[in-house]
Amino acid sequence: MIRYMCLAVIFIMIILAGLIGILSIKYHSDTGITLLLFAGICILIGIISQIAIQDNRIDQESLQRADSELPDSLKFTGRKGLIGPVCYVTEHFLVIIQGGFLRILPIKDILSMEIKKTQGGYYFRRCFLEITTNEKTYQIGLAESMPDTEMKNMIAQIWKKKE
């Protein structure tokens, strides 16, 4: 879905760039401004296509496999949105649901997991889980009531499955 939305935006931007070019030629406007507008549109196209590529790295087969390993309660809440983090370990995947986003990370791609403390003000959480993969680092905020021992047990469980 995100991929199609990004393609639609890119298509619209290309049409706009063409219209800007045609209008600038027709009305003999300054070519410097036209080139700047065209460069800005090209940069936006590049940014949007990069976002589309990053968000769609998980192939459908992996997604269906992870979906079959999830319990029914998480299948529903993960898609409808959930406030607060939920981490669930399946046989091959770490599933993170936070703030309405569903992340499915293959366990084999996880390089490190670490609980880090924050020293922020009122709006900051006490600690977060930092997960580093081959491609990206994820930071999952943890609730104050979530005990560190529970997270450490989950991390140990993931390392056992990784071996």
Q: Does domain 60-162 have CATH number 2.60.40.290?
A: no
| Beta carbons within 8 Å of 45's beta carbon, 6+ residues apart | 10, 13, 14
Report domain extents, the chain: 2-55, 60-162
pTM, rounded to two decimals: 0.44
pLDDT in tens, 40-98: 777 777 676 666 555 555 555 665 666 666 655 455 443 433 344 567 777 777 777 66
| Beta carbons within 8 Å of 1's beta carbon, 6+ residues apart | none
